[in-house]
Structure 1
């Protein structure tokens, strides 16, 4: 299992280079096929931009799944009493970056506008706790923290 985790980290590290590599290959191939370096450059830049945008969509969906799992755990009946531990877990379609951890309810914020809960959460294997807020949305719970705040917990970004 540990080898699969190391392989996953290596594969995710390669994701950052994927747009550059595909753009270079597509641009180089187009330039060779057409004998026009300007056309190759334009195609390379376009392919790089497309692959980069596609990766951003995939990573954002994965991040949203992780946030939804944490919010669901915060809204679950188990951590309804302050301080009681609850568990969260997310399993992605591609089993790289699956995460699990613990949540602890800090306080309930009940107003006429929304029912929210503030909780501490952490990722299993990491010692640091993070504070977030989840609010009821329809029948479920959704992440309510502002997005720029997520850069401070890089493993779930």
Structure 2
């Protein structure tokens, strides 16, 4: 008895997922989905080329969806840090918070104003932390024409800041 094309693809993919650990979870899910869609469409239509095209399309869609969610989380953190630091004087600190709108997107930390500069465009250099990371990060925020403080520059103080950069 031979295994179905879907089973021949999904079993090795599941084994790879188990061996890959958490670091490769996103790409492993994309890979399993791509293989599953390709096998299903190829098997249903009898045309492996259509299966490959459908699998590539599914992979691209998942990848773009993940990137969109990461950009939204990053924008929310940038805005929360700027809003918290805007009204502070040099040397003052405050807590910043992002309410969880997307799964696992709730973030909190502390921000402190290191210096203020500029007259035509008022800006501040700030140091901030994320509560779930031990690193310190620095950025510059500036006040826009509408009076709102906005993220102007990101310069992590560490070798890597992950998806929030």
TM-score, length-normalised on structure 2? 0.75
Mapped pair 1:74 → 2:106: no
Matched, 1:153 2:161: yes
1:54 is aligned to 2:61: no
Distance 1:27 1:150 in 2: 41
Q: Secondary structure at the match of 1:108?
A: strand
CA distance in 2 between counterparts of 1:102 and 1:150 reads 17
In the alignment, is the contact (CA less than 8 A) between 2:141 and 2:150 conserved in 1? yes
Decide which of 131, 139, 143 is 1:136's aligned counterpart: 143
Does the alignment pair 1:24 with 2:31? no
Offset of 1:13 from its aligned partner?
Answer: 6.7
**Structure 2 SS opposite 1:152:** coil
Residue 48 (structure 1) shift? 0.5
> Unaligned 5+ residue runs, structure 1?
1-9
Q: How many residues align?
A: 144
Taking the TM superposition and a 5 Å limit, the aligned residue runs for 1:85-100 are: 85-100=93-108
Q: What is the CA RMSD across the aligned residues, in angstroms?
A: 2.7
Secondary structure of the residue aligned to 2:101 is coil
Q: TM-score, normalization: structure 1?
A: 0.78
**Offset at 1:38?**
1.1
